Structure 1
Amino acid sequence: MSSLNVIRRGGAYKTRVIIHGVRKSYSTTVNSTVQTLDKIESFPENSTIFSLIQPTGNIHLGNYLGAIRGWKELSETESQGSKFIFGIADLHAITLPKEAHKLKQFRYEAIASILAGGLNPDKCIVFHQSAVPEHTELSWYLTCITSMGSLNRMTQWKSKAQQTDSSSIYEDSVLESTKAGLLCYPILQAADILIYRSTHVPVGDDQTQHLELTRGIANTFNHTYNTKFFPIPKTLLTPSKKILSLRNPGKKMSKSDPDQNSCVYVTDEPDVIAKKIRKATTDSIQGRIYYDPEERPGVSNLINVISGLTGVTVEQTVKDLEWVKDHKQFKDFVTELIVNEFKDSRELYNHLLTDLSHLDQICKEGGNKAREIASANITEVRKLIGMD
């Protein structure tokens, strides 16, 4: 029996209809403001589950575990009357401008990636954010009720503007070097969510601050216009821990890393995956494999990869790895898991990019469905604020 089968027999990897270890026998509902996907057993009737991913091209292992696989599994739930809306945040992508031909290519690659990751357009809406102009209309209405102070407290714009966490937009040097779109994009993100009256938003932990802002903006709108029109959306966190750089586990896995051996892509061939995992940073500690992000960051990162792919907790993963005798055996197992996980996705991704008209048609149909919902909601918003 192979080592792969040992893990499979003991955990969720043996079936693809398990959300990170929980079989889809949905009976209880999501009640808290923040919940992890592995705690969800059902959604209330007529829920709207919404999320977008930026078009940065082909997706990597971190994107896959942090978003795409969770979207797929959520969209396969059978919550009565619920809508699943997933897409590409191409308007957000231009907060840091790109060459036009690259953005267009990235948009196609991102759509191909989420479809190759298993999303079924018959079960969910798949679309480009820019195809629905109601996003930007609502964003302006929400901008007018959002304080500069709340935007200044957001941390991601500081990171993207290459500022420190203690930086303030009110400092002259920061003000001059920061584009307005970078500062204000959390409001557009709130509009993305609220235009569909979304009830649940699956995100990574780096977006929880923006979801808190969205809830605050929804409450402000409802209070300002004496309405309960916008639901207060719940945050759904992926249970997978953040996947870090293979070469430098002190930072997250990123496409922009100059060392491309640090990042495994869904489209990587098996020999490329094997090479990257062989070169992954581990340590000189011999003997059993154990989890300690401080003492063993590289090994712990690979344990997180296994845990994310199998749907088994980190603790159980470590127990399941008792058979591992050395780093080579450990890395060979990680390679086998990744190669098996991405085999079908890689083939489908490559096939999809040979037929761009097919991708265009999927996005057009998804965009029409999304706009039908958004149009009805923006009509009600206009009435509430006196713009009808």
Structure 2
Amino acid sequence: MSTFRDLSGITPSGQLTLGNYLGALRRFVQRQYEVDGYYFVADLHALTVDHDPARHRQLTTSTMALFLASGLDPEQATVFVQSDVSAHVHLAYLLECTAHVGELSRMIQFKQKGHRPGTRASLFTYPCLMAADILLYGADRVPVGGDQSQHVELARDLAIRFNSLYGDTFVVPELEPVALAARVLDLQDPGRKMSKSDPEDAAGVIRMLDNPDVIAKKIRRAVTDSDNEVLYDPKHKPGVSNLLDILASLTDQPPRDVATSITTYGQLKQATADAVITTLKPIRRRHDELLKNPAELNRMLVMGAVKAREASEPFLAAANQAIGITR
């Protein structure tokens, strides 16, 4: 295994989508044998907005089951739930004591949502929790999409500032941009990405737990255009190109090569539906098996929590010592 440490988390703000699988989970599974990987369900991040506690627990458990069902091996990688490792909250407060109000107020989520009535204080401070997630494990690199790069930049800034103020403590992580091809777009609105936060019945969102009939129906109704020309052109044909990207990702081919082998939109939609159903069916089956066997799932959760605590403890202890906390 490489000496590189890799870290990624997914917030359980909704049932995971095909985009979460292609853009994150599949990559986690592939990389777990190449790096020292830390992959977690970021359940604390989901508390920055109004939520139903019972649904939050259900989504957290289901998301972890999907991590494992997708092929993450708890013997190989460190797979855990964020709230099972109290060091995340502890270090987040130390980083709040390092961050400046101005830089937190410039974070995109707070700029967009932070001035509404009833906004929770955690929406302002959670970027420090995200920075703690990263810095606790000495991650060398953090794979990010464009919408998360600002948070990793903040983690870098806080690590550099902490090291400057209190001594060399944290690894300063590098951003590793995720390939644009992994960005799966909404089937009904290909101008934006497929989002797990959309309503459960959103026609443009394929959930990892959707049954085959639902998947086929959503893809049949995917927005294309009136040309009926199968051509990969994301700028002028975003709907068609999105389907080609999905099919290409699932068949390990360049999307332009896929386009040359398909002549009609009907064929494209059928081939895409078949590929998605074939990929997700065994994952859904394993997910359901894990939920029916809570003892097995809990055993793996405990294993991941123990490994995460052991890995994070030295970094938290070093931060405590550097900032002046003694134990």
TM over 0.5: yes
1:157 to 98, 102, 110: 110
Residue 286 of structure 1 and its aligned partner are, at CA, apart by 2.5
SS at match of 1:49: strand
Partner of 1:182: 123
Residue 221 of structure 1 and its aligned partner are, at CA, apart by 0.5
Partner of 1:26: none
Whether 2:26 is the aligned partner of 1:69: answer yes
Residue 261 of structure 1 and its aligned partner are, at CA, apart by 2.0
Whether 2:137 is the aligned partner of 1:196: answer yes
Residue 382 of structure 1 and its aligned partner are, at CA, apart by 1.4
Any idea what the Cα deviations from partners look like across 1:80-116, whole Å, max 9, x if unmatched?
xx52111111111101131111111011100011111
Letter in structure 1 aligned against 2:227: I
Q: Name which of structure 1's ranges 138-147 and 290-299 shifts more when overlaid on structure 2.
A: 290-299
Letter in structure 1 aligned against 2:305: G
Would the alpha carbon gap of residues 206 and 238 (structure 1) be closer, same or farther in structure 2, given more than 3 Å must change?
A: same
Residue 260 of structure 1 and its aligned partner are, at CA, apart by 2.4
Would the alpha carbon gap of residues 387 and 175 (structure 1) be closer, same or farther in structure 2, given more than 3 Å must change?
A: farther
Count of residue pairs brought into register by the alignment: 324
* Structure 1 residue ranges without an equivalent (≥5): 1-42, 162-168
Q: C-alpha separation between the residues in 2 aligned to 1:257 and 1:375?
A: 37
2:244/2:268 contact within 8 Å kept: no
Partner of 2:312: 374
Equivalent positions of 1:284-303 (< 5 A) are 284-287=226-229, 289-303=230-244
2:56 to 91, 96, 103: 103
Partner of 1:55: 12
Partner of 1:142: 95
Letter in structure 2 aligned against 1:215: R
Partner of 2:203: 261
Partner of 1:244: 185
2:14/2:197 contact within 8 Å kept: no
Letter in structure 2 aligned against 1:132: V
Residue 230 of structure 1 and its aligned partner are, at CA, apart by 0.9
The two structures, once aligned, show a CA RMSD in angstroms of 1.8
Any idea what the Cα deviations from partners look like across 1:346-382, whole Å, max 9, x if unmatched?
2111111111222222111111111112222211211
SS at match of 1:158: helix
Q: C-alpha separation between the residues in 2 aligned to 1:311 and 1:225?
A: 47
Whether 2:149 is the aligned partner of 1:208: answer yes
SS at match of 1:236: strand
Any idea what the Cα deviations from partners look like across 1:317-347, whole Å, max 9, x if unmatched?
2233213221101111111111121121121
Equivalent positions of 1:1-388 (< 5 A) are 45-77=2-34, 83-159=36-112, 161=113, 174=115, 177-227=118-168, 229-239=169-179, 240-258=181-199, 259-287=201-229, 289-312=230-253, 316-388=254-326
* Structure 2 residue ranges without an equivalent (≥5): none
Q: C-alpha separation between the residues in 2 aligned to 1:236 and 1:311?
A: 21
SS at match of 2:9: strand
Q: C-alpha separation between the residues in 2 aligned to 1:175 and 1:332?
A: 44
Would the alpha carbon gap of residues 250 and 317 (structure 1) be closer, same or farther in structure 2, given more than 3 Å must change?
A: closer
Letter in structure 2 aligned against 1:130: S
Q: C-alpha separation between the residues in 1 aligned to 2:14 and 2:228?
A: 38
Q: Name which of structure 1's ranges 132-141 and 177-186 shifts more when overlaid on structure 2.
A: 177-186
SS at match of 1:201: strand
Q: C-alpha separation between the residues in 2 aligned to 1:212 and 1:112?
A: 30
Q: C-alpha separation between the residues in 2 aligned to 1:257 and 1:96?
A: 14
1:67/1:204 contact within 8 Å kept: no
